Amino acid sequence: MNFFSKIFSLIFIFLFIQVNAYAQKPTNNADKLALQYFELKEYEKANEYFEDLYDKNPEAWYANYFKSLLGAKDFSRAEKITKKQLKQNRNNVYLYVYLGRVYKLQNEEKKEREVYEKAIKELLAVQPFIQNLANAFLEDALYDYALEVYNKGKRATPDYPYFYERADIYRQKNDLKAMINEYLDALEFRDTEIQTVQGNLQNSLGYDDNEGGINNPLLKQELQKRIQKNPDKIILSEFLIFIQKQQKDFDGAFIQSRALDKRLKEDGNRIFDLAKICVANQQWEAAKRCYDYIIEKGTDNLYYDAAVIDGMNVDYLAITNKQQPSQEELLALEQKLSKANGKYKQSFLNAQILKNLVSLKAFYLNKTDEAIVLLQDFVDQSGMDALAKAEYKILLGDIYILKGEIWEASLLYSQVEKDFKYEAIGQEAKFRNAKLSFYAGDFPWAKTQADVLKGATTKLIANDALNLSLIITDAIGVDTNDLPLRLFASAELMIVQHKYKEAILRMDSINLLFSTNTLGDDINYSKAQIYSSQGKYAEAEAMYKNILEYYPTDLYGDDAQFKLAELYDYKINDKEKAKQAYQDVLTNYPGSVFTVEARKRYRELRGDNLNN
């Protein structure tokens, strides 16, 4: 064999050895191949690559190699590399949990238990090691061992007692009572934890479970136990009040707030704030209890006069929101308001009293002349804020409409419109004048004014103006016969004048005389408003449903859906139907002006904490 033949043979042998070596050893893509086989659960093939990767970098590849060995049921090798890892760093006691997995799979319960106990015994009680060991136990759903880990950490670091971690374990165990008490322990430990505790409890208890989310009775029970045991821990009472407000338990909130007010020798400020919340939720009796409590504190109290006046406002709202307030109730309220009006006549606080008194006389007692005299004298006072005067002029105009003096009403609205041309109240006055033109049958002028107001700064006015314009356009259209619309407009005026029976008869006549009229949704909507004001909620519900069934895409589709939700919410008191109806506003009418309020009420009914 010559020299070149020998060289060629050597090169061939070298290449053959390299090719075989390449076939036997992991390639530069060993990590990718290992992980790919592991994902495919081809553990034997994966381990051929993991073994070499682990030997080169144990820290980086131990976890994957260990899991793959378990997949391949190579328990001996899994045990061996885990003990090797432990030997290299004795502080990584979480690896004992991995050993426990190996023993568990081999049904060696004694060995499994021993390594778990050894892990806790050898744990260096500093936060990173505590967290690693607890997480390892939790990964295998070994909740009680994880709790032992946190207990050791709690003893070693009393400044960080692991309340939230322990609470989360109890949540996973579905031990709600223990979970709640961990959070309450955190609250007692430090008052500043209140926001975190509130948020965690709401997230943990949920909103749609059978227990009612944050309404879970266990939470209230455990809080009340703690308050009885430690009444000086004010934060507990404040947390209970927070929950009671969320649950609309205003009587309970009043009792707790009153107790705090007395214990802390307060001036009634928290009771006064609670009263406002009660009013916003139409809880008249609870609000009255709050105001009466402040009034009982005496005339020297900072909130006395405000409580007297706001308390009478609650009386007014409670009576006028009844389905059929009795004449005796109305007259007794009139006498009470008249007396207060005389007492506070020279005070800036008198405005609310006077407004309620004239509204009561005009809209409920048929004493429009007395109401006009009282309100006119009030408006004529010198020194009154211009904006406030404008608001009372609009009310005075409304009373003139009630009396049938349309010209006087229009004059007052025009004054407000002129003085506040570019402001919301001026636009409101302009819209009222447009409605007067509508009632009078001057549809072209009413539509012209309404079209101008489509760009109003207030969404509600713009929406009402758009509706008025569309009613006129749709009702007349290419047909010059405006008689159906004239009848409807006159019926609308009757509604404003509280002539409900006549208004319904007038609207029913439209369908009888003009079977092809386009006012179906308008008539149903107006009748729904009448029935609702009379407390005939079943009839009102039927009208709204008629619109949603037969005229869902017409003018009052979104209005009917939102009003139906409010009817269920505040009048019929069916919260589940209300929640669904609010959701239907969001789903079926996403561009509606009611979406913001519908979303807010939907979230409130679902139980969301809107304060966070």
DSSP conformation letters of 181-225 = HHHHHHHHH-GGGHHHHHHHHHHHH-SSSTT-GGG-HHHHHHHHH
d(CA 528, CA 563): 9
Whether residue 570 is contained in a domain is answered as: yes
Whether residue 525 is contained in a domain is answered as: yes
Whether residue 567 is contained in a domain is answered as: yes
d(CA 503, CA 510): 11
Whether residue 575 is contained in a domain is answered as: yes
Q: Residue for token digits 């009587």? A: 251
Whether residue 596 is contained in a domain is answered as: yes
Angle at 441 between CA 438 and CA 442, to 5 degrees: 75
Whole-prediction pTM value?
A: 0.72
Contact 588, 578 (CB under 8 A): no
Structure tokens at 548: 């949603």
pLDDT for 555 equals 86
pLDDT for 310 equals 95
Whether residue 546 is contained in a domain is answered as: yes
Q: Which residues of the chain have pLDDT under 50?
A: 1-27, 207-213, 610-612
Can you give the residue range of the structural domain that contains 588? 519-606
Mention every residue, 6+ apart, whose C-beta is less than 8 A from residue 177: 218, 222
Contact 379, 412 (CB under 8 A): no
Whether residue 322 is contained in a domain is answered as: no
How many structural domains comprise the chain?
Answer: 1
SS3 for 474? helix
DSSP conformation letters of 228-244 = HH-TT-HHHHHHHHHHH
Name the DSSP letter for residue 455. Answer: G
pLDDT for 236 equals 93
pLDDT for 534 equals 87
CB atoms < 10 A from the CB of 111, how many?
A: 16
Q: What is the CATH number of the domain that holds 540?
A: 1.25.40.10
What are the distances in angstroms from CA 27 to CA 30, 37, 91? Answer: 5, 14, 34
Residues present in the chain in total = 612
pLDDT for 206 equals 58
Q: How far apart are the first and last CA of the chain?
A: 90
pLDDT for 454 equals 87
pLDDT for 479 equals 56
- Per residue in 24-38, pLDDT (tens digit) is 344 458 888 989 888
d(CA 51, CA 564): 68
- Per residue in 462-474, pLDDT (tens digit) is 888 988 998 898 8
